[in-house]
Structure formats: structure tokens, C-alpha cells
């Protein structure tokens, strides 16, 4: 592994040998529905509580990712995961069921790429040969913890986002003969950015500077330009944050029109038909489901060859918001590439 600035360049280019995405009914009504491994037709996910529903999504995504990797569960050496719940209970309880050595991480909605970057680092440096990364979220658990319970029926401004009910997991392994899947070429670890936004209903504006900062760092460290990638996609900036990030990057001299620059929160829903999602999707499951479902499938079909996924996270809590704190944010980027 070579370190330049904030970026890890992986010498062995670990392979994503199996991945899976499991989602809820709203995501199943969106344009990416065919790319998910399983779609539930109810928000309860056949469980008695929202928290158990979220856990079930993550457990199922993990099980499917292992199956698709062609490995047995016992061959997975470590599991790296996290989520939005207090003390990352969804991931912790999922790891309990998996019975795999576990590293719990928290990056809010950036956890999908944080866990993938750490897993790739472990494989690249020889600390492990087979590692699973994963995360998930549920609309009703996030509303209950961070805003108002769904049953309350509170009104939201148009800047608000809709937490994705979904989970995504991937199995990362050393490259070898016969292994097919996107290679993890490099990862850029973000730094905390806080421009003073205090409104928890405007996450896009809060997270956009972090996304722009990490993308700019990625280009500086690697010497690459936007046109190197077929697609650069942020995690969950949605309709408010994505234009802000683009403007900030253009001020730094990076012309994002040279590539396709999108956002998982805008890709996962049809905002014209699904009015309840407001500005677009968010949550740990947003970039996880889009990456481990839609993007990986498009790469395996050779429709995409080089993709930079920049997962964004707002690192606030209900307590910090109540105490008048501004919202610190972060973004982590992982580059996926298909070899010819």
C-alpha cells in the first residue's frame, strides 16, 4: 500500500468477489429495483420492531454476499461494519449472528465506504485474505432516533431527505486466478468539515463541503482528473447538496462536467412519482444498496469500468442538535475498477 496525502493506493488491488443489496418497499418502487437482490413489500420487514427490521436487512445482505462470493461463512476472517443506531446495534447484532471477528465502525452515512476502505486495507497489507464490509439503515429507525417517530406525522421542509430502508454488504479478497469482480484500486479518507450548518433537515448542504473536500483531495493525491472515471457518485447529498458540491469543486478547478457526476440519493428513487422522498435519499443503506447492488452489477456487465464512490456522513446526534451545535460532516471515497 502506498500513502499519498489522504489516499491509500492499493498495490494488490483487492477484489470485491461477492456483494448483495436488500431493500424495503419504497426502494423497490424506484428505478434501481431490478438491481437489488431482495425487495421487501413491507416496512416491518416481517419483524416486531423497526430496529429488528433493520437488523434483518443487514443479516440477509451479509448472508447473500457470502453465498455470491462462493465462500462458506467460516472462510470470512473479519467483518467490518456500522450503522446509524445508538452503539451501532444493527451491525453488532448482525455480527453476533455471523460469528465472525468484528470491527465496528461509525461514519454515519459514510460508513459504507469507510468499512470498504478498511476492509481493502486489511487485505492489501496482508492482515487478512477475506473480509466482509457492510452497513444498512431503516427509514423508521432513523426518524425515531434523529427526528420524530413516523407515527407522529410531522411535516418536513423540501430540503429534508428520506432515509433509505436497505442494506448492502460486500466480500473483499486477495486477487487471484479466476476471481471476477471490481478491483478496489484506491481510497481517500476524508477529514471533518463543518461550515456551521445547524439544520438537521438540510443534510445535503451540511455534507456537500465534505464531499467536495474529499474529491479534491483524491484528485490532488492521485494526479487524476474527473474524466478518468466513468462515474463519480456521492452518497446522499440529494438535490440540495449535489449542486453545492459541484460548485465548490469547480471553484477548486475541477470540471465535473468531464464525467458523469451523480448521487445515490437521487438515483435510488423517482422523485417525480415518489413525492415523500422530498430532496432524495439518505442513510447508511443509501450508498450501500446503490453500490453493492446497482453499481457492481453495471460494472460486472461492463457498462461501467471506473467508478469513484464518495459516501458522505453527518456526524451529529440528537443531543448535539438540541444543544445548538453545528453539524460536523465527513466523506470517504473508494475507487472501483474492472480489469480488461
Q: Is the per-residue pLDDT at 327 higher than 70?
A: yes
Q: Is the per-residue pLDDT at 148 higher than 80?
A: no
- Residues 185-210 have a mean pLDDT of 95
Instruction: Return contacts of 259-263, CB within 8 angstroms, 24+ apart.
Output: 259/226, 259/227, 259/228, 259/229, 259/230, 259/231, 259/232, 260/230, 260/231, 260/232, 261/226, 261/231, 261/232, 261/233, 262/231, 262/232, 262/233, 262/234, 263/233, 263/234, 263/235, 263/236, 263/237, 263/238
Give 269-306 pLDDT, tens digit per residue: 999 999 999 999 999 999 999 999 999 999 999 999 99
Q: Is the per-residue pLDDT at 151 higher than 70?
A: no
Among 228, 250, 241, smallest CA distance to 305 is for 228
Percent of the chain, pLDDT > 90?
Answer: 89
Percent of the chain, pLDDT > 70?
Answer: 97
pLDDT band at residue 144 using 50, 70 and 90 as cut-offs: confident
Q: What pLDDT, on the 0 to 100 scale, is given for residue 178?
A: 61
Q: Is the per-residue pLDDT at 70 higher than 90?
A: yes
Amino acid at each position: 500500500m502506498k500513502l499519498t496525502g489522504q489516499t491509500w493506493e492499493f498495490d494488490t488491488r483487492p477484489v470485491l468477489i461477492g456483494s448483495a443489496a436488500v431493500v424495503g418497499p419504497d426502494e423497490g418502487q424506484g428505478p434501481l429495483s431490478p438491481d437489488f437482490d431482495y425487495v421487501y413489500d413491507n416496512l416491518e420487514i416481517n419483524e416486531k420492531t423497526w430496529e429488528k427490521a433493520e437488523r434483518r436487512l443487514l443479516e440477509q445482505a451479509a448472508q447473500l454476499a457470502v453465498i455470491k462470493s462462493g465462500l462458506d461463512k467460516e472462510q470470512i476472517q473479519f467483518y467490518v461494519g456500522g450503522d446509524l443506531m445508538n452503539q451501532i446495534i444493527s451491525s453488532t447484532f448482525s455480527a453476533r449472528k455471523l460469528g465472525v471477528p468484528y470491527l465496528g465502525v461509525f461514519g454515519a452515512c459514510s460508513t459504507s465506504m469507510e468499512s470498504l476502505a478498511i476492509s481493502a486495507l486489511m487485505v492489501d497489507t496482508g492482515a487478512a485474505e477475506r473480509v466482509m464490509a457492510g452497513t444498512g439503515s431503516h427509514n423508521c429507525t432513523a426518524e425515531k432516533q434523529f427526528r420524530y417517530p413516523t407515527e407522529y406525522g410531522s411535516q418536513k421542509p423540501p430540503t429534508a431527505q428520506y432515509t433509505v430502508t436497505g442494506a448492502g454488504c460486500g466480500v473483499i479478497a486477495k486477487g487471484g486466478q479466476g476471481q471476477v469482480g471490481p478491483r478496489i484500486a484506491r481510497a481517500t479518507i476524508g477529514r471533518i468539515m463543518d461550515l456551521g450548518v445547524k439544520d438537521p433537515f438540510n443534510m445535503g448542504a451540511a455534507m456537500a463541503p465534505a464531499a467536495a473536500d474529499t474529491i479534491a483531495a483524491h484528485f490532488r493525491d492521485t494526479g487524476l482528473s474527473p474524466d478518468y472515471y466513468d462515474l463519480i457518485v456521492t452518497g446522499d447529498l440529494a438535490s440540495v447538496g449535489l449542486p453545492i458540491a459541484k460548485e465548490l469543486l469547480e471553484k477548486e478547478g475541477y470540471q465535473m462536467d468531464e464525467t458523469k457526476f451523480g448521487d445515490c440519493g437521487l438515483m435510488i428513487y423517482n422523485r417525480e412519482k415518489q413525492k415523500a422522498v422530498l430532496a432524495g435519499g439518505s442513510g447508511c443503506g443509501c450508498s450501500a444498496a446503490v453500490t453493492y447492488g446497482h453499481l457492481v452489477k453495471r460494472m460486472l456487465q461492463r457498462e461501467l469500468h471506473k467508478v469513484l464512490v464518495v459516501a458522505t456522513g453527518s456526524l451529529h446526534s440528537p443531543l448535539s442538535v438540541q444543544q445548538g451545535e453545528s453539524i460536523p460532516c465527513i466523506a470517504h471515497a473508494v475507487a472501483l475498477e474492472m480489469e480488461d
